[in-house]
Each structure stands twice: as C-alpha cells, then as structure tokens.
C-alpha cells in the first residue's frame, strides 16, 4: 500500500488530501482542512440568504396571483352560468361560489402564513397552517348558512300578504293542509 499526499489551495482555504492506494487503485482518501479564513462562508451565507428571500418573495407573489385569478375565474364563470339557468337555482350557485372562493382564499392565506413564519416557528408553522384551514372552513360554512337562508327555510305567504319563514325540516315532518280562500 502506498500513500500519496496532495495539497490544494485557493485564496481562502488550504486542504490536505491523502490517498491510500495499491498499484494505483485508490481505495480510500482522507481530506484535512488546514487553513480557512471564513470569507467564503460569509459570502456564501449572504448569497444563500438573498436567494432564499428572493425565492420566498416570488413564491408569495405567485400564490397571491393564483388566488386572485382563481377568484376572478369563479366569479366570471358563476355569472355566466347564472344567466343560463333558471332563477330558482340561483341560491345553489351562490353557495357553490362561496365554497369555491372560500377554499382558494383559505388555502392561499394558510400557505402565505406558513411560508412567512416557517423560519421562526418551524414545526409550529405547520400546526398554525392547519388551524387556519380549520377556522377558515368554519367561517366559510357560517357565511354560506347566513348568506342564503333560502336553503334552510321556505317562504309562505299568508292571505293578508305577510310572509312566514318556516324551517324546511318542520315542513317535511308535519302535515300541511292546503285550503282555498273561497272555502272559508
């Protein structure tokens, strides 16, 4: 077995490399850093941080752009569909639009928060992203219920012209008597 030694140098480092070989068939080597003035590391760290910040900014901008385009596309598509269908199906379109827009907005906001806070919060950033999605889903469901009460209630008009809101559940489970105004 023979041992060859090579010293590599550049402006910032001096490295000793020892090769172990037998008949010029290299089996192993050992590298030893002799001198390092640290300038390279500082420059590389600065470059990495700048690249990381630029990538994060581009990623956030891309996420927000996709969210805005998705919301605009859903609104345009829903207005076109609403013109083609009967007005009685309007509440269902409103619910679908609210759900789809809510989905895009919630996921976009959760991802933006995650990307902005990951460096500081690490594992907790993922937990907060999940929490944002859960709370967002609850808010969207609440908006849908409040937004269109017509899916939960039926409107009944009395003889005097008053409108009564009756829960659909009670209309299904009770007997309804239809009478003619002439039979009274």
- Using one digit for the tens of pLDDT, what is the confidence trace for 127-139? 999 999 999 999 9
In a domain, 116, yes or no: yes
Domain tally, the chain = 2
What pLDDT, on the 0 to 100 scale, is given for residue 73?
A: 92
What pLDDT, on the 0 to 100 scale, is given for residue 136?
A: 92
| Shared domain check, 134 and 60 | yes
Band (142; pLDDT cuts 50, 70, 90) = confident
| Shared domain check, 64 and 105 | yes
| Shared domain check, 31 and 87 | no
Q: How far apart are CA 147 and CA 95, in angstroms?
A: 8
Q: Inform me whether the pLDDT recorded for 48 exceeds 50.
A: no
In a domain, 62, yes or no: yes
Taking the model in full, what pTM does it have? 0.53
Instruction: Give the alpha-carbon dihedral of 36, 38, 41, 45, to 10 degrees.
Output: 170
Going 163 to 167 to 171 to 177, the CA torsion angle's sign is negative
93 forms bridges with which residues in the sheet?
none
What pLDDT, on the 0 to 100 scale, is given for residue 137?
A: 92
Domain range for residue 9? 2-37
């Amino acid at each position: 077995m023979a041992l060859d030694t090579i010293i590599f140098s550049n402006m910032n480092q001096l490295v000793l490399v020892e090769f172990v070989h037998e008949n010029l068939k290299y089996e192993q080597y050992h590298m030893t850093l002799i001198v390092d003035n640290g300038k390279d590391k500082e420059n590389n760290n600065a470059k990495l941080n700048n690249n990381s910040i630029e990538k994060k900014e581009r990623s956030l901008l891309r996420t927000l752009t996709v969210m805005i385009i998705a919301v605009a596309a859903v609104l345009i598509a829903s207005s076109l569909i609403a013109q083609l269908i009967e007005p009685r199906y309007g509440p269902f379109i409103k619910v679908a639009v609210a759900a789809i827009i809510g989905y895009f907005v919630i996921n976009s906001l959760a991802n933006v928060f995650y990307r902005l806070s990951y460096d500081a919060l690490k594992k907790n950033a993922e937990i907060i992203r999940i929490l944002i999605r859960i709370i967002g889903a609850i808010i969207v469901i609440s908006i849908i219920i409040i937004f269109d009460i017509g899916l939960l209630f039926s409107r009944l008009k009395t003889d005097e012209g008053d409108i009564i809101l009756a829960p659909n559940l009670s209309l299904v489970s009770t007997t309804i008597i239809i009478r003619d105004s002439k039979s009274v």
